[in-house]
Amino acid sequence: MSKINAEVLLPTQELRDDIPFYIEVLGMRMDMIYPADDPTVAVFSGHGLRVRIEKNAEVSPGKIRILCEKPNEFAAGKRSLKAPNGTTIEIDALNPPLILPTTQHSFVVRRLADQAPWIIGRAGMHYRDLIPDRLGGSIIASHIRIPDGGPVPDTVHYHSVGFQLIFCYRGWVDLVYEDQGEAIRLFAGNCVIQPPEIRHKVLYASENIEVIEIGVPAEHITTIDHDMKLPNGPENPERLFQNQKFVHHKADEAVWKDFRIPGFVSRDTTITQNTQNVAGVEVIRPNGKETCKSWHSSDILFTFVMEGSMTLEGEDKEPFNLSPGDAFVIPPNMNTAYRDASPDLELLEVSLPGVFETNFS
């Protein structure tokens, strides 16, 4: 393919005032200038950007954002500059720290029967929001489906997150992850955590695939990696991604144990230990014994009804009869009870942190 350049056009009233600013202050180089006797156009490049400044061009001054590993050492530490031609220059961190919003606790019940239409999102996938208020931006929970099976038009990418879970609810999906070897097939009942910034790609999906995706915080950046090819070589299962390990939990290898609430058993996904207690994920079933009211100390406690039915009793609330596809969030210190569980009831519980106290009344 022949070489192609792209450039951003910015206006100026007097080019000679802009030349020293773009070269000396912003550290760009001048690649072109003309005409020689009375220049009206100059082209600068630097920091991954090519800029054409043209005298009397009929365009707005615009804004340039320069991202630096050490922003306080660039342009004498100034974070906002105004170029002679009127262009605003913003200086920001190349890798800003992840900020986790303070959770705004609320009691949430989201029923599938009451749900608004599905929204078409990234790579043609259909999204359904399970926590509309997102607890003040601290978490997003999505029910995602791909109606048509086949190849998924995805690209290698990563997420700037504190925690992210993909739980396969229906069907299966093929995924490939950085340093985890060949592609894996995620079957219904199984899950993976996508540690912060692990490169990955969705390859192929069965018809009517459905997954539950949890992301912390609710608003996080997805970055496309144009250079990495997956799979990328030998497996390195012990690699830490910001102190978290990749987990592929398989239901048929899990061990069931008594759940934190009497009347139920659960299978641990090992996510608590592999995220250093950032989050915990368990699948829950009734054991036929009597249950009771309880309250918890977890900052976030999200539950999705996968199979069967139950009644959720909440303090000062009317009882909620729940069925597959419904979801709820119980805030800390709120007295609740899981009643009338059908024998086939199966719940997905996600907590942040992974270990917390449960008390009974």
Domain 97-361 has CATH 2.60.120.10: yes
pLDDT score at 58: 94
The radius of gyration computed from the CA coordinates of the chain, to the nearest angstrom, equals 26
Q: What are the boundaries of each domain within the chain?
A: 8-93, 97-361
pTM: 0.88
Mark out the alpha helices in the chain (DSSP H runs): 15-20, 271-274
Which residues make beta-bridge pairs with 8? 51
**By 3-state DSSP, what share of the chain in percent is helix, strand and coil, each rounded to 5?**
10, 45, 50
Residue 161 Rama label (left phi>0; alpha psi -120 to 50; beta): beta
Sign of the alpha-carbon dihedral angle for 274, 275, 276, 278: negative
pLDDT score at 224: 93
40: CB partners within 8 A, 6+ apart:
15, 34, 54, 55, 56
Tokens 């990328």 belong to which residue?
232
Instruction: Please provide the CATH number assigned to the domain covering 8-93.
Output: 3.10.180.10
What CA–CA distance (Å, rounded) separates 336 from 315?
6
pLDDT score at 116: 66
153: CB partners within 8 A, 6+ apart:
123, 124
pLDDT score at 27: 96
pLDDT score at 153: 86
Length of the chain: 361
pLDDT score at 174: 97
pLDDT score at 95: 85
Q: What is the mean pLDDT of each run of 10 residues along the chain (361 residues)?
A: 88 96 97 93 96 96 94 94 96 89 96 81 81 95 90 92 98 97 97 97 94 96 94 94 97 96 96 98 97 97 98 94 97 97 98 98 83
pLDDT score at 114: 83
